[in-house]
Amino acid sequence: MTQKLLFVCLGNICRSPAAENIMNHLIAREGLGEHFICDSAGTGGWHVGAPPDRRMRAAAKERGMDFVGSARQFQAIDLQEFDLILAMDRDNYRNILALDPQKKFADKVKMMCGYCETHSDKEVPDPYYGGADGFNYVIDLLFDACRGLLKSLKN
């Protein structure tokens, strides 16, 4: 059975596409591509159609990775379509659940940092208004969370 994972942040150009690309990288490295489909979205619609932020792509390039994607806005239908929805922070978590007033899908929505194994962060910080260090930190944090997520999904 294929599991569908959706990573969600605010604009879908920094954190969630990074998580999607990192998760795809880890899945491919373990030869599990046929078991998972990853996507990302933003609760806001400002960047629809845009590629991942150039600073995020530059930070990924330093690690030998190409971050690809096209921003889209999270829709209520995503709650039905995906098996697991991973919010980058509490605001986005609340915005996702606001589209599910009957709480039919609430158990599918999780906090990304809940899967971290070494970092103690509760939320993935938004690097958008900061410098390169923030983008590098987010990639490190998401590698940790994605490793933990993949481990939990394999079990």
Q: Which residues are catalytic?
A: 9, 15, 126
If we measure between CA atoms, which residue out of 85, 84, 86, 141 comes closest to residue 117? 141
- The two three-digit tokens of residue 128, written as one number: 């958008």
Residue type, 110: K
Kindly give the residue spans of alpha helices, DSSP state H, lying in the chain: 15-29, 54-61, 77-81, 90-97, 132-154
Tokens of 8: 């969600």
Residue from 80, 78, 105, 84 nearest 19 by CA: 84
